[in-house]
């Protein structure tokens, strides 16, 4: 990361050799930042006690314990069921929404698109908590429904409910890929079907969606994979019922033996990585396949919107119902809870109104610091992160050698490690690597962890910007004698500037939303809202959770507003 | 000449500080006060949240304005994990450890992580609250039942452990999914409470079966249970930390609290000074202050825990609780016996039996 300044200012007289030194340094830093935590986790999983404990011995005891624990198998089964179920919900719904938004003359489209993407920018911890206060057994909507209709025919605390909520909140992940693929599809084939008398639904099912199957397959694998990383949702909705998934099982091991069982947690983490890493590789393959497939798209002629006709009502209903359940219900729940002292049956909400939670949040230094840190890590931290990613991007840009391929795989690794565990590994590193120790209790430690954890996501943003720069421009500069560094600085960098600003905004929102990475790293001084919420939720300070959640939503909303204003495409 | 200056400076420093030596303390306590002043701060890791501890910190600073208190709250497991990791890495963290996970605190003492320091206040503490002159029980917090006042009334309010079991067993339809207690796999305090319960309550198995029959809900913290019983999502809470419950019940008209009549377990937050504390003198001042009559008065008053000392007048005190409940108060001793279940084999056996009994009751 120290290589960044030279990436931007170097080159010139020092010429090629300094470029290669810089490139080697960037690749080396990336490798250390990615492989350090992973190898620590693997090493820890092969010990019988915390690695810093003098009484540790090597062995496979941790794996033996985990594999003999029936809770592990239950958690694994639940993870598979939920991941599979949510894929079955998110993929069709995301594809239909994408079709309606991209290809039809649905009214108010401009307003719907940012709203559809909201669930992917709000912390799952916040959304789940919102569902509890809004639609839990005594949630606001439940109580209203009971009063109005005498029944509230839903329940939150079951595998089914978790699957449905997870499915609905992952619709945006499918939506972005499906709509990108639809965009690159000519509308002539659809028009042909339409003029032959097919309904819009029939067009979607028989023509458009089959054509974007590769993208949907990719999105399906992505959602399935994300299913194994769910943490906030099962923590809030599943834990009280004893419904475990892999990540909450891992979290539970923190205390199950009474004293820390890092070796067991590490063993579970290795098991999770053993499942997720192949999925990450599969995604990579599918993405390449999807791009290849996209080349046989129809002629990129003028797009014509399909008239929905009498189907308009149904399409509007689907979108509004989706937004109501996934966005409006949880967020209004949180907003309400933040302003009342107590809630439930027979509580008059206007009497329970209070601003105390906010007053308390703004009085308490740990909370104000969390708010500032969260803003800081998104803005300044986000910019630095984009700078780091750009440096890595340049180190591999237009170079098809072994090193570039190595980096390609390296950046995928953190994707497979659950944020919770990555955070724990970083805590160990900050504790036991002497020169890193001073930054442990500063926001810088969080920033490093975030930057590594989101490496794959960020690199996709950067490399898609870089790929848009036509090679001729760079080659022209090269041919008049500019060094690689000069080309990067004077040609490529200015050309991708809009892409970098867009990446910055997306990284801002992702960092505002992030919560699991900070859970173990959290220390006085480096508080961020996301991790603070997990800790406060565990501690039961619900008023404060609601207030901080609302503040978090406002921060994300601010980022979203700026992004929309600048016309940033809200997708990777 | 230089030597003289040093001596004079020391004398002046100790003279200035001498005024602060509390009454009844040995005269050489001035050295500790001066040392603490030179150290300038004390780092506390505590399971009691910052908001609750604020009056205590403020009052300590009224007595010792030169010692800055760096108060860090985290949950008791994190407290332990962080402490051992920091000690192992040689990065000094906590000077004072203050936690409700009594067993983990005692384990740290047994592992040689605590400093031996006979506080001048030791004589005023109950015998069970002093361990090896290293760890001290500082509070007297009962484990209570809670209930939703609007939805649970009359005979349904359990008054003792046996009636708790009976109430939920005789009306499983009403209480299905509405009974809550600690997740003993996640909460060390919750685990410790049920281990003690099995000692005093022969019908514990009936209760566990009742939990199973009503598919009870578990949480890792008191706050969640209070919230959910208050809102009516749950109706009854078992083994809730009374210090928190009583405070909330004062402000929350929905929440009722019962001190069990057959026996009431009492937890005492254990405090010790880290062996490698970087501010040892300041840590001693803090510990002595918390154990002193003044500190205990704060704990029984504004901090709203219960004072462990008998000679304190405050809203919440051990003596008041003892008077109210007669001889049925069972403080959990600060002693080696409470670490029995930190042996992972024994712990897993206990957890296994617990789950088996739940299942026998028809639960998960």
Residue range B272-316, pLDDT digits in tens: 999 999 999 999 999 999 999 999 999 999 998 999 999 999 999
Chain A partners within 8 Å of B80 (Cβ): 259-260
> Looking at residues A80-94, what average pLDDT do you find?
96
| Nearest in space to B327 (alpha carbons), one of B240, B239, B264, B258 | B264
- Determine the pLDDT at residue A569: 67
| Partner-chain residue, chosen from A241, A254, A540, that has the shortest CB–CB distance to B217 | A241
- Determine the pLDDT at residue A15: 54
Of B145 and A196, the structure prediction assigns the larger pLDDT to: B145
Mean pLDDT, chain A, integer: 85
| Partner-chain residue, chosen from A50, A342, A523, that has the shortest CB–CB distance to B252 | A342
Mutation to test the A interface, candidates B85, B187, B243, most A Cβ within 10 Å: B85
User: Which residues are CB-neighbours of B190 under 8 A, at least 6 positions away?
Assistant: B181, B182, B183, B184, B220, B239
Chain B partners within 8 Å of A346 (Cβ): 150, 232
Of A534 and B91, the structure prediction assigns the larger pLDDT to: A534
Mean pLDDT, chain B, integer: 89
Residue range A138-157, pLDDT digits in tens: 888 998 898 888 888 888 88
Domain boundaries, chain B: 2-138+269-325, 141-266+339-360
Lowest mean pLDDT among A10-19, A274-283, B44-53, B350-359: A10-19
Mutation to test the A interface, candidates B48, B185, B247, most A Cβ within 10 Å: B185
Is A525 near chain B, with CB under 8 Å?
Answer: no
What is the CATH superfamily name and number for domain B2-138+269-325? Periplasmic binding protein-like II (3.40.190.10)
Residue B39 CA to residue B28 CA, distance in Å, equals 17
Nearest CA of chain A to the CA of B102: how many Å? 11
* pLDDT confidence band for A413 (50 / 70 / 90): confident
User: Which residues are CB-neighbours of A204 under 8 A, at least 6 positions away?
Assistant: A95, A96, A99, A103
* pLDDT confidence band for A213 (50 / 70 / 90): confident
CATH 3.40.190.10 is held by the domain B141-266+339-360: yes
Hey, what are A245's tokens? 């998934």
**Is the pLDDT confidence value at B232 over 50?**
yes
A–B CB contacts, 8 A cutoff, strictly below: 126
Instruction: Note whether A393 and A460 are within 8 A (CB).
Output: no
As annotated, the residues of chain A forming the CATH 1.10.3720.10 domain(s) are: 1-45+354-572, 58-333
Strand partners, B272: B97, B135
- Determine the pLDDT at residue A10: 40
- Determine the pLDDT at residue A292: 56
Chain B partners within 8 Å of A541 (Cβ): 49, 223
* pLDDT confidence band for A6 (50 / 70 / 90): very low
Of B102 and A180, the structure prediction assigns the larger pLDDT to: B102
Chain B residue with minimal CA distance to A438?
B91
Chain A partners within 8 Å of B344 (Cβ): 257-259, 261
Hey, what are A79's tokens? 């993870």
Residue range B154-167, pLDDT digits in tens: 999 999 999 999 99
- Determine the pLDDT at residue A449: 95
> Looking at residues A536-545, what average pLDDT do you find?
80
User: Which residues are CB-neighbours of A427 under 8 A, at least 6 positions away?
Assistant: A440, A520, A521, B85
Q: Is B277 left (phi over 0), alpha (psi -120 to 50) or beta?
A: beta
- Whether B141-266+339-360 and B2-138+269-325 are alike in CATH topology: the answer is yes
Domain A1-45+354-572 class, CATH top level:
mainly alpha
Measured at the alpha carbon of residue A342, what is the angle toward residues A341 and A344, in degrees to the nearest 5? 155
Percent pLDDT > 70 in chain A is: 93
**Is the pLDDT confidence value at B3 over 50?**
no
Q: What distance separates the 2 farthest-apart alpha carbons in chain A?
A: 79
Q: What is the ipTM of this complex?
A: 0.78
Chain A partners within 8 Å of B88 (Cβ): 50, 52-53
**Is the pLDDT confidence value at A536 over 90?**
no
Chain B partners within 8 Å of A261 (Cβ): 344
| Nearest in space to B55 (alpha carbons), one of B353, B300, B307 | B300
Hey, what are B204's tokens? 């514990």
What is the CATH superfamily name and number for domain A58-333? MetI-like (1.10.3720.10)
Percent pLDDT > 90 in chain A is: 35
| Nearest in space to B84 (alpha carbons), one of A49, A420, A526 | A49
Helices assigned H by DSSP within chain B: 2-18, 29-39, 50-63, 76-89, 102-110, 161-170, 172-175, 188-200, 204-213, 222-231, 242-251, 280-291, 293-300, 318-325, 344-360
Is A314 near chain B, with CB under 8 Å?
Answer: no
| Nearest in space to A417 (alpha carbons), one of A459, A452, A388 | A452
Is A68 near chain B, with CB under 8 Å?
Answer: no
Mutation to test the A interface, candidates B220, B229, B347, B349, most A Cβ within 10 Å: B220
- Determine the pLDDT at residue A12: 43
Residue range A228-264, pLDDT digits in tens: 989 999 999 998 888 999 999 998 888 888 887 889 9
């Amino acid at each position: 990361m120290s290589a960044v300044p030279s990436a931007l200012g170097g080159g010139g007289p020092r010429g090629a050799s300094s470029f290669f030194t810089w490139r080697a340094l960037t690749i080396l830093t990336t490798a250390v930042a990615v492989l350090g935590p992973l190898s620590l986790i693997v090493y820890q999983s092969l010990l019988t006690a915390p690695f810093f404990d003098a009484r540790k011995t090597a062995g496979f005891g941790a794996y033996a314990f985990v594999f003999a624990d029936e809770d592990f198998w239950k958690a694994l089964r639940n993870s598979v069921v939920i991941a599979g179920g949510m894929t079955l919900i998110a993929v069709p719904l995301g594809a239909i929404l994408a079709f309606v938004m991209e290809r039809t003359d649905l009214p108010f489209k401009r307003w719907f698109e940012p709203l559809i993407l909201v669930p992917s920018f709000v912390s799952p911890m916040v959304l789940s908590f919102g569902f509890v206060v809004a639609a839990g057994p005594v949630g606001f909507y439940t109580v209203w429904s009971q009063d109005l209709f005498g029944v509230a025919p839903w329940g939150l605390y079951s595998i089914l409910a978790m699957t449905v909520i997870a499915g609905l909140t992952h619709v945006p992940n499918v939506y972005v890929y499906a709509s990108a693929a639809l965009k690159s599809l000519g509308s002539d084939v659809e028009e042909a079907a339409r003029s032959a008398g097919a309904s819009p639904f029939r067009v979607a099912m028989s023509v458009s969606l089959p054509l974007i199957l590769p993208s949907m397959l990719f999105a399906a694998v992505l959602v399935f994979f994300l299913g194994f990383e769910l943490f906030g949702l099962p923590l809030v909705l599943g834990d009280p019922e004893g419904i475990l998934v892999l990540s909450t099982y891992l979290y539970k091991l923190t205390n199950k033996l009474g004293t820390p069982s890092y070796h067991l947690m590490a063993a579970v983490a290795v098991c999770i990585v053993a499942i997720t890493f192949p999925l990450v590789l599969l995604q990579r393959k599918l993405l390449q396949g999807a791009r290849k497939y996209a080349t046989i798209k129809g002629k990129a002629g003028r797009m014509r919107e399909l008239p929905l006709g009498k189907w308009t009502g149904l399409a509007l209903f689907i979108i509004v119902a989706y937004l109501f359940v996934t966005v409006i219900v949880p967020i209004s729940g949180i907003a309400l809870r933040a302003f009342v002292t107590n809630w439930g049956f027979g509580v008059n909400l206007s009497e329970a109104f209070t601003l105390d939670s906010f007053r308390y949040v703004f009085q308490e230094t740990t909370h104000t610091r969390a708010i500032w840190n969260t803003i800081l890590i998104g803005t300044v931290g986000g910019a630095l992160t984009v700078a780091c990613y750009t440096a890595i991007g340049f180190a591999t840009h237009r170079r098809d050698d072994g090193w570039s391929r190595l980096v390609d795989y390296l950046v995928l690794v953190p994707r497979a490690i659950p944020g919770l565990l990555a955070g724990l590994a970083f805590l160990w590193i900050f504790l036991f690597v002497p020169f890193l120790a001073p930054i442990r209790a500063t926001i810088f430690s969080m920033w490093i962890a975030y930057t590594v954890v989101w490496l794959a996501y960020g690199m996709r943003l950067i490399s898609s910007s870089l790929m848009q720069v036509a090679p001729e421009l760079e080659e022209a500069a090269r041919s008049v004698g500019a060094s690689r560094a000069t080309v990067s600085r004077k040609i490529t960098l200015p050309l991708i500037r809009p892409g970098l600003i867009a990446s910055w905004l997306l990284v801002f929102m992702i960092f505002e939303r992030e919560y699991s990475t900070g859970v173990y790293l959290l220390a006085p001084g480096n508080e961020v809202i996301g991790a603070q919420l997990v800790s406060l939720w565990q501690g039961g300070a619900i008023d404060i959770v609601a207030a901080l959640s609302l503040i978090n939503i406002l921060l994300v909303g601010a980022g979203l507003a700026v992004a929309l204003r600048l016309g940033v495409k809200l997708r990777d | 000449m230089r030597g003289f200056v040093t001596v004079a400076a020391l004398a002046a420093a100790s003279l200035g500080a001498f005024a602060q030596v509390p009454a009844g303390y040995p005269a050489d306590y001035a050295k500790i006060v001066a040392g603490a002043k030179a150290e300038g701060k004390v780092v506390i890791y505590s399971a009691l949240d910052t908001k609750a501890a604020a009056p205590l910190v403020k009052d300590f600073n009224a007595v010792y304005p030169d010692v800055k208190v760096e108060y860090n709250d985290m949950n008791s497991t994190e407290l332990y994990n962080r402490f051992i990791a920091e000690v192992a890495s040689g990065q000094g963290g906590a000077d004072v450890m203050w936690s409700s996970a009594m067993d983990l605190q005692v384990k740290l003492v047994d592992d040689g992580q605590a400093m031996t320091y006979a506080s001048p206040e030791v004589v005023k503490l109950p015998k069970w609250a002093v361990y090896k002159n290293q760890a001290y029980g500082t509070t007297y917090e009962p484990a209570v039942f809670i209930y939703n006042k609007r939805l649970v009334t009359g005979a349904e309010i359990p008054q003792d452990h046996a009636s708790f079991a009976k109430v939920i067993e005789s009306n499983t339809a009403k209480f299905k999914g509405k009974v809550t207690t600690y997740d003993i796999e996640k909460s060390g305090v919750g685990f410790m409470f049920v281990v003690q319960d099995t000692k005093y309550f022969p019908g514990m198995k009936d209760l566990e079966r009742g939990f199973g029959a009503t598919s009870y809900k578990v949480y890792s913290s008191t706050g969640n249970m209070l919230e959910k019983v208050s809102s009516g999502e749950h109706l009854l809470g078992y083994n809730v930390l009374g210090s928190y419950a009583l405070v909330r019940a004062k402000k929350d008209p929905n929440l009722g609290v019962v001190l069990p009549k057959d026996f009431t377990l009492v937890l005492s937050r254990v405090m010790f000074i880290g062996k490698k504390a970087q501010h040892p003198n300041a840590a001693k001042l803090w510990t002595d202050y918390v154990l002193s009559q003044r500190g205990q008065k704060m704990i029984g008053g504004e901090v709203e825990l219960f004072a462990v000392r008998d000679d304190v007048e405050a809203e919440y005190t051990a003596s008041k609780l003892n008077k109210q409940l007669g001889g049925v108060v069972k403080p959990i001793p600060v002693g080696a016996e409470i670490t029995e279940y930190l042996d992972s084999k024994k712990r897993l056996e206990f957890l296994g039996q617990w789950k088996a009994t739940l299942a026998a009751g028809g639960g998960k």
